[in-house]
């Protein structure tokens, strides 16, 4: 008992005090319970509950859903447990993210907590907006960029040569998740355009590909195909630039946290703004991209 408390104990106690202060502030100002899920490859899904208060955010609970089906009933019961953990008198809004079951779960929660407000996360709506904005580029930009990124990141030697180039950024590996992650990959990819082109003509890569083993032959064939169809084609880079320009115009608009007066009415203007940024109409193979 007389021993000096360790640094970890001191930090934990400080965190507990800060959390208690945040929850206490909810009595006066109210708080929002945010629920979100995350997929874990091969391990199922986990659901996180965070209380957002006037004085900061507080972690409430993490539910390991495993491979359970995330039904509306499951989500509603899980959120109910989290709300009651901090006291339902402290919560005035429940925000839930996710696919269709989340919508039904919010309806069930409204029955349990009739005085609370229920809202679907605006991020989910922004995800759909970005998908709509970029739909014309799905096949000709997002798909090939995905293949190029996987080709580079899946081969340690090619990836090492790329990362050794001056001024390069670390390529983002595409993941099977929300569409904005793909958007981030394309934007980062285009930012490294010059080094990507340089990588395809790098003497060390050509020497490495000269190996006559069957596996290396497959890599060599894929490298050549990607180079001929995309990397060495100025028209394709022009399309990537058009896509990134359009996305860069869309992201600040759909990202503005103005829920009372949504800014989505600005979206029809994005095409003209993107054209102005590029100084010419967006086109691919001689045809305007709408």
Radius of gyration of the chain (CA): 25
Tens of pLDDT, residue by residue over 220-251, are 999 999 999 999 999 999 999 988 887 777 66
> What's the confidence (pLDDT) of residue 2?
45
Q: With a threshold of 0.75, does the pTM exceed it?
A: no
Tell me the pLDDT of the chain averaged across its residues: 78
> What's the confidence (pLDDT) of residue 257?
44
Task: Show the tokens assigned to 108.
Answer: 């069930």
Tens of pLDDT, residue by residue over 140-188, are 998 899 999 999 988 999 999 998 998 877 777 665 555 666 777 888 8
Give the chain as a 3 state SS string: CCCCCCHHHHHHHHHHHHHHHHHHHHHHHCEEEEEEEEEECCCEEEEEEEEEECCEEEEEEEEEEECCCCCHHHHHHHHHHHHHHHCHHHEEEEEECCCHHHHHHHHHHHHHCCCCEEEECHHHHHHHHHHHHCHHHHHHHHHHHHHHHHHHHCCHHHHHHHHCCCCCCCCCCCCCCCHHHHHHHHHHHHHCHHHHHHHHCCHHHHHHHCCCCHHHHHHHHHHHHHHHHHHCCHHHHHHHHHHHHHHHHHHHHHCCCCCCCCCHHHHHHHHHHHHHHHCCCCEECCEECC
User: Which candidate, 246, 131, 245, places its Cα nearest to that of 177?
Assistant: 131
> What's the confidence (pLDDT) of residue 5?
58
- Are 282 and 274 in contact, with CB atoms under 8 Å apart? yes
Residues of the chain with pLDDT under 70: 1-5, 25-29, 38-44, 67-68, 98-99, 122-133, 173-181, 250-290
- Are 163 and 199 in contact, with CB atoms under 8 Å apart? no
Nearest-5° angle of CA 254, CA 259, CA 260? 135
Cα 257 vs. chain centroid, distance in angstroms? 17
Give me the phi and psi of 5, to 5 degrees please: -65, 140
> What's the confidence (pLDDT) of residue 274?
52
Distance CA 115, CA 92 (A): 8
> What's the confidence (pLDDT) of residue 248?
76
> What's the confidence (pLDDT) of residue 260?
41
């Amino acid at each position: 008992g007389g021993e000096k408390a360790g640094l970890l104990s001191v930090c934990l106690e400080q965190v507990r005090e800060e959390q208690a202060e945040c929850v206490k502030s909810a009595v006066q100002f109210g708080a929002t319970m945010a629920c979100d899920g995350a997929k874990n490859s091969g391990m199922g899904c986990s659901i996180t509950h965070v209380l957002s208060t006037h004085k900061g955010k507080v972690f409430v609970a993490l539910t390991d859903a495993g491979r359970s089906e995330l039904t509306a009933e499951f989500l509603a019961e899980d959120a109910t447990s989290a709300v009651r953990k901090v006291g339902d008198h402290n919560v005035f809004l429940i925000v839930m993210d996710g696919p269709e079951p989340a919508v039904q779960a919010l309806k069930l929660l409204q029955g349990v907590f009739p005085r609370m407000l229920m809202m679907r996360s605006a991020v989910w709506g922004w995800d759909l907006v970005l998908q709509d904005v970029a739909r014309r580029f799905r096949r000709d930009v997002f798909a090939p960029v995905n293949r190029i990124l996987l080709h580079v990141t899946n081969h340690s030697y090619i990836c090492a040569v790329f990362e050794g180039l001056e001024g390069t950024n670390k390529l983002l590996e595409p993941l099977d998740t929300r569409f904005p992650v793909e958007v981030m990959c394309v934007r980062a990819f285009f930012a490294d355009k010059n080094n990507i082109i340089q990588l395809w003509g790098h003497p060390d890569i050509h020497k490495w590909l000269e190996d006559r083993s069957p596996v290396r032959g497959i890599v060599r064939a894929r490298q050549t195909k990607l180079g001929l169809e995309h990397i060495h084609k100025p028209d394709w880079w022009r399309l990537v630039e058009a896509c990134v320009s359009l996305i860069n115009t869309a992201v600040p608009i759909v990202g503005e946290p103005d829920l009372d007066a949504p800014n989505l009415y600005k979206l029809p203007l994005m095409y003209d703004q993107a054209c102005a940024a590029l100084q010419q109409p967006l086109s691919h193979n001689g045809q305007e991209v709408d």
